[in-house]
């Protein structure tokens, strides 16, 4: 039995069977490279699903992590900690929000957003409004409330009923359907600016403006889920900045601490009034260690102008991928993206292309069975993107 086979067997024995894993083990990573137990090298175009936006195992982040690990790791939110404030101030400097609540994951950040919207409506607005309207095809997490908010049906939800009340989803792009779904019980509309798990689908500009107008007219809140799209990924700090809007609440996680678990819910001062001591809490959220690392991440994103870099590299990639679409009409039906949040939709089942790419050393994701999804590190070399596109070209040329 190889080391890989034995790892697979032991995983099956000891870990809950919730993941369809790729047939790859990873033992080491650096920048945009991964290595398996046999020493085989891969180009990582997925970054741990948009988490390791600065590349793997950077020395400067490792130094901050090690230094903080010797100073203060965790004391709980019963205490004031300067690392937390430093991180919050840096985060708030990237956007129009005024206050942060730190969590440990994207789902928890979204839970906080949903809870804040309901609490704000009841305690500040004196309205018994609690419903959250989301978009079909969206993904907001796996806790019961965020799973219910997720605009998908099928295995993701099957077997978990009863799901919490107060959620509905409407088709993307249909402002009339959204308007019709709003009632006096509606607290908020919650959307991703670019649907990630849904297949890299940016919302249309006019549609977002119409949502903002609707939210204003009905005096309800706009929550934007930036768990995947945030932190320079799309070519701006936050995807909502492409639409020049200010959400009442938005959420972040994934890349916040470049691999350490961290989430954040950000809100305007007005909406943040909904939370008072005891309203909401977490044991781990915003510990000194993750906050210090996150501060460093935010510094690096600023110093290395990674939003601009993501925009430039994303434009380059989309331009080149569109040439492949022209070369293989029918095989590539759509190239989509914003910055380095990229999708290539194939006109046929993508599993064969996906495994051939992996066999040739490229790690990415296949969404919905037909969309090659790439979320490379924002520091990725142009040569790595070129190498991927050339390999995809070769694979598509060989296929009937």
Ligand X SMILES: Cc1ncc(COP(=O)(O)O)c(C=O)c1O
List residues forming the annotated binding site for pyridoxal 5'-phosphate: 106-107, 139, 225-228, 283
| The two structure tokens encoding residue 4 | 């890989």
- Cα–Cα distance, 160 to 183 (Å, whole number): 27
Q: Does 151 bind ligand X (CB under 6 A)?
A: no
Choose which of 48, 106, 230, 247 interacts with ligand X (CB under 6 A): 106
- Catalytic residue numbers read 139, 225, 254
> Do residues 164 and 305 touch, judged by C-beta distance below 8 A?
no
Torsion sign, CA atoms 152, 156, 162, 167: negative
DSSP 17-60: S-----S----EEEBTEEE-TT--EEEESSHHHHT-TT-BS-HH
Please identify, using beta-carbon distances, which residue of 139 and 388 lies nearer to ligand X.
139
CA 43 – CA 36 distance, rounded (Å): 12
Question: Is there binding between residue 102 and ligand X (CB under 6 A)?
Answer: no
Q: Which of 94, 169, 228, 291 binds ligand X (CB under 6 A)?
A: 228
What length does the chain have?
A: 400
Shortest CB 232 distance to ligand X, Å: 16
Binding mask of the shown chain, residues 285 to 324, with x at each position contacting ligand X by CB under 6 A: ----------------------------------------
Q: How far is the CB of 256 from ligand X (least distance, A)?
A: 10
Minimum distance, C-beta of residue 69 to ligand X, in the bound complex (Å): 23
> Residue from 31, 137, 196, 235 that binds ligand X (CB under 6 A)?
196
Q: Does residue 227 interact with ligand X by CB under 6 A? A: yes
- What is the x/- site pattern for ligand X, positions 60-99, by CB under 6 A? ----------------------------------------
Burial class from Cβ neighbours inside 10 Å (0-12, 13-18, 19+) for residue 383 reads exposed
Our finding on whether 105 is near ligand X (CB under 6 A) is yes
192: contact with ligand X by CB under 6 A: yes
Q: Taking a C-beta distance cutoff of 8 angstroms, is the pair 317, 45 a contact? A: no
Residue 112 touches ligand X, criterion: CB under 6 A: no
Task: Please pick, from the candidates 141, 235, 274, 314, the single residue that binds ligand X as defined by CB under 6 A.
Answer: 141
* Residue 228 or 282 with smaller CB distance to ligand X: 228
Helices (H), the chain: 3-14, 47-50, 59-71, 82-92, 106-119, 144-149, 175-181, 205-218, 269-272, 288-303, 306-327, 351-359, 382-398
Q: Is 262 in the site for ligand X (CB under 6 A)?
A: no
CB of 343 within 8 A of CB of 332? no
Residue 197 found at the interface with ligand X (CB under 6 A): yes
Q: Does 225 bind ligand X (CB under 6 A)?
A: yes
Angle between helix 306-327 and helix 382-398 axes, rounded to 10 deg: 20
Beta bridge partners of 223: 190, 249
Residue nearest to ligand X (CB): 106
3-state secondary structure of 366: strand
Part in contact with ligand X (CB under 6 A); list of ranges 19-27, 79-87, 103-111, 369-377: 103-111
Give me the residues that bind ligand X (CB under 6 A), please.
49, 105-107, 110, 139-141, 192, 196-197, 225, 227-228, 253
């Amino acid at each position: 039995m190889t080391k890989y086979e034995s790892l697979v067997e032991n995983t099956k024995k000891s870990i809950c069977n919730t993941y369809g894993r790729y047939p790859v083990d990873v033992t080491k990573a650096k920048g945009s490279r991964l290595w398996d137990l046999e020493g085989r090298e891969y180009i990582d175009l997925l970054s741990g699903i948009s988490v390791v936006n600065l590349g793997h195992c950077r020395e400067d982040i490792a130094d901050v992590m090690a230094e903080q690990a010797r100073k203060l790791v965790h004391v709980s939110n019963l205490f004031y900690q300067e690392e937390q404030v430093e991180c919050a101030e840096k985060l708030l400097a990237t956007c129009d929000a005024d206050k942060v609540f730190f969590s440990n994951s994207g789902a928890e950040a979204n839970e906080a957003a949903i809870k804040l919207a309901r609490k704000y409506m009841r305690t500040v607005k004196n309205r018994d409004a609690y419903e959250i309207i989301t978009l079909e095809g969206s993904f907001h997490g796996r806790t019961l409330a965020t799973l219910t908010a997720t605009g998908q049906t099928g295995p993701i939800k099957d077997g978990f009923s009863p799901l919490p009340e107060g959620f509905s989803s409407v088709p993307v792009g249909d402002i009339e359907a959204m308007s019709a779904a709003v009632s006096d019980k509606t607290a908020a509309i919650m959307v991703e600016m670019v649907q990630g798990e849904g297949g890299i689908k940016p919302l249309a500009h006019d549609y977002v403006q119409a949502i903002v107008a609707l939210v204003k007219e009905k005096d309800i809140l706009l929550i934007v889920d930036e768990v995947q799209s945030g932190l320079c990924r799309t070519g701006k700090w936050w995807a909502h900045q492409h639409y020049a809007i200010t959400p009442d609440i938005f959420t972040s996680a994934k890349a916040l601490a470049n691999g350490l678990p961290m989430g954040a819910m950000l809100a305007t001062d007005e909406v943040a009034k909904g939370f008072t001591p005891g309203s909401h809490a977490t044991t781990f959220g915003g510990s000194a260690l993750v906050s210090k690392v996150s501060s460093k991440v935010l510094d690096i994103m600023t110093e290395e102008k990674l939003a601009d870099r993501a925009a430039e590299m994303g434009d380059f990639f989309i331009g080149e991928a569109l040439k492949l679409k022209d070369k293989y009409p029918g095989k590539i039906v759509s190239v989509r993206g914003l910055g380095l949040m990229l999708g290539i939709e194939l006109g046929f089942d993508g599993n064969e292309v996906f495994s051939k790419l992996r066999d040739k050393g490229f790690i990415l994701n296949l969404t919905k069975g037909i969309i090659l999804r790439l979320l490379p590190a924002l520091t990725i070399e142009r040569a790595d993107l070129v190498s991927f596109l050339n390999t995809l070209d070769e694979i598509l040329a060989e296929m009937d």
